[in-house]
């Protein structure tokens, strides 16, 4: 009887151990999900380079992580330690990885900062929602959060701000370079270690939105901006239809049914085509873009969203081409638009001075290039006859020329007017050909005996071309 009792106890202990193992295994499996992960449209997604794992948070009680290549989601519980509704916080913030197992949720317009660390999500700043930098690029470096530009209070900004954890406040970045990018919001941007790249962006000019084309980089170590050039034409034309992950770095972009991979170190971008890309959203990449995490939507049910991680290589079967990201900027585009007015005014002033000088010199040359002799070919037959008559006499009464203009029934006043007009025209012609002052040609004086009569005089220094010449 004792043997049976001992044997029965052993079986009971083994059953308890099996049940405990099964319960532990069930609990462990409950913390794991394989393949796709169902989320809402407000899910926060990030790749933590310090942990080398993808991060997804969509609930106030737990978040998920996945090591690239494992295809296994691990569930982590945490405590949401805030009075503000969880959904509101998720809608107004963007997540950044700051260190191993440390994440910041930063207000998209600059201001509030929430920290997820040691299984607790709580607010850590002493600021307020600035609402001044919507659409500003947001990145972390050396334990701080940086934001550049953005839109707020009816203006596009070029302000560069930084959140300092020790002070729990935001400060303007003290840049050491003399140049910096102009105002912009929602640019395409990349972060490579300590270098921050800004490509294009939107600028509002007289209530009209236009896309900028310049490219810049900021070195966090030297605190200097440097202009790289302008966006390649092919890439620039796609900016307006790209699905940017606003505020966060975009190493891989969506353009309709194409994925665009950016390699800023080699200044190149590659395009890949696949119909599966049409249902992708919120792309996040691992190191060197080896793995992609993205939200996959259901065409029949827009609320059915799932997160998936795949090797990027599996999408690269249909490669469209590779092109440069940026190129050197034309020298004409290096000047700000407001400088063109002054440049135009100075140029026009110099052009006016030059034209005035050329005209002046031409006039002097023209005046010094007078004919030495009058030529018959330059005058009409009547003009030449009268010129020869005056030349041969040296001086003569002006009334002696009446025979050239007299007609039957013509009044004396009309005759006189015709004669004066004719002499005036001949005088102008001679002045043009000889380059002499018109008042010195065919000078008229009053007759010494009869003041009513006029005498016309020939200039002795003006010669006539002889027939043989």
Residue 184 falls in which region: left (phi positive, over 0), alpha (psi -120 to 50) or beta? beta
Judge if 168 and 63 occupy the same domain.
Answer: yes
Judge if 148 and 293 occupy the same domain.
Answer: yes
- In a domain, residue 240? The reply is yes
Q: How many CB atoms lie within 10 A of CB 215?
A: 25
- In a domain, residue 100? The reply is yes
Q: How far apart are CA 56 and CA 170, in angstroms?
A: 27
| pLDDT, mean of each 10-residue run, the chain (469 residues) | 54 62 50 79 94 96 95 95 95 96 96 96 96 95 96 93 96 95 94 94 80 94 95 88 84 90 93 88 91 89 88 90 87 60 83 84 60 84 89 87 81 86 88 84 85 86 75
CB-CB contact of 54 with 43 (8 Å): no
- Residue 188's nearest CA partner among 154, 160, 214 is 214
Q: Domain end: 303, 334, 365, which one?
A: 334
Judge if 322 and 377 occupy the same domain.
Answer: no
- In a domain, residue 127? The reply is yes
Question: What is the pLDDT, as a whole number, of residue 338?
Answer: 60
- In a domain, residue 2? The reply is no
- Exposure pattern of 339-362 as b/e (b: 16+ CB <10 Å)? eeeeeeeeeeeeeeeeeeeeeeee
Judge if 280 and 388 occupy the same domain.
Answer: no
Judge if 254 and 402 occupy the same domain.
Answer: no
Judge if 293 and 387 occupy the same domain.
Answer: no
- In a domain, residue 21? The reply is no
- In a domain, residue 344? The reply is no
Judge if 52 and 199 occupy the same domain.
Answer: yes
Answer whether 0.85 is exceeded by the pTM. Answer: no
User: What is the domain range of residue 455?
Assistant: 373-464
Judge if 381 and 328 occupy the same domain.
Answer: no
CB-CB contact of 146 with 196 (8 Å): yes
- The domain that holds 127 is classified in CATH as 2.120.10.80
Residue 299 falls in which region: left (phi positive, over 0), alpha (psi -120 to 50) or beta? alpha
Domain count, the chain: 2
Q: At 239, list the tokens.
A: 């900016």
Q: What is the largest CA-CA distance in the chain?
A: 181
Question: What is the pLDDT, as a whole number, of residue 179?
Answer: 93
Q: At 431, list the tokens.
A: 């002045």
């Amino acid at each position: 009887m004792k043997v049976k009792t001992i044997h029965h106890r052993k079986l009971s202990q083994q059953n308890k151990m099996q049940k405990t193992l099964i319960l532990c295994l069930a609990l462990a499996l409950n913390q794991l999900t394989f393949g796709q992960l169902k989320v809402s449209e407000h899910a926060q997604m990030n790749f933590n380079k310090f942990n080398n794992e993808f991060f997804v948070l969509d609930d106030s009680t737990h978040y998920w992580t996945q090591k690239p290549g494992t295809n296994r989601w691990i569930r982590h519980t945490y405590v949401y330690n805030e009075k503000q509704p969880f959904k509101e916080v998720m809608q107004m913030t963007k997540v950044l990885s700051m260190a191993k197992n440390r994440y910041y949720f930063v207000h998209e317009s600059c201001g509030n900062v929430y920290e997820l660390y040691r299984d607790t999500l709580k607010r850590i700043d002493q600021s307020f929602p600035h609402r001044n930098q919507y659409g500003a690029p947001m990145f972390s470096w050396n334990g701080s959060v940086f934001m550049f530009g953005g839109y707020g209070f009816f203006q596009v900004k070029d302000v560069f701000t930084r959140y300092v954890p020790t002070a729990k406040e935001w400060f303007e970045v003290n840049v050491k370079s003399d140049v910096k990018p102009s105002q912009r919001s929602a640019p395409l941007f990349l972060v490579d270690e300590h270098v921050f790249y800004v490509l294009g962006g939107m600028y509002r000019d007289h209530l009209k939105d236009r896309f900028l084309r310049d490219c810049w980089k900021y070195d966090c170590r030297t605190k200097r901006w440097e202009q790289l050039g302008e966006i390649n034409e092919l890439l620039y034309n796609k900016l307006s239809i790209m699905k940017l992950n606003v505020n966060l770095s975009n190493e891989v972009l969506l353009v309709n049914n194409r994925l665009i991979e950016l390699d800023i170190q080699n200044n190149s971008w590659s395009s890949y085509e696949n119909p599966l890309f049409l249902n992708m959203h919120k792309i996040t990449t691992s190191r060197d873009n080896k793995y992609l995490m993205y939200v996959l939507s259901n065409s029949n049910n827009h609320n059915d969203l799932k997160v998936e991680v795949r090797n990027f290589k599996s999408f690269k079967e249909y490669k469209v081409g590779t092109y440069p990201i940026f190129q050197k900027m034309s020298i004409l585009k290096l000047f700000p638009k407001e400088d063109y007015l002054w440049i135009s005014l100075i140029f026009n002033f110099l052009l006016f001075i030059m034209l005035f000088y050329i005209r002046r010199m031409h006039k002097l040359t023209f005046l010094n290039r007078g004919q030495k002799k009058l030529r018959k070919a330059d005058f009409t037959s009547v003009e030449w006859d009268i010129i020869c008559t005056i030349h041969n006499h040296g001086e003569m009464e002006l009334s002696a020329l009446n025979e050239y203009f007299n007609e039957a029934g013509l009044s004396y006043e009309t005759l006189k007017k015709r004669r004066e007009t004719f002499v005036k025209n001949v005088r102008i012609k001679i002045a043009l050909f000889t380059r002499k002052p018109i008042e010195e040609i065919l000078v008229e004086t009053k007759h010494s005996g009869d003041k009513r009569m006029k005498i016309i005089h020939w200039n002795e220094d003006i010669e006539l071309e002889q027939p043989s010449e």
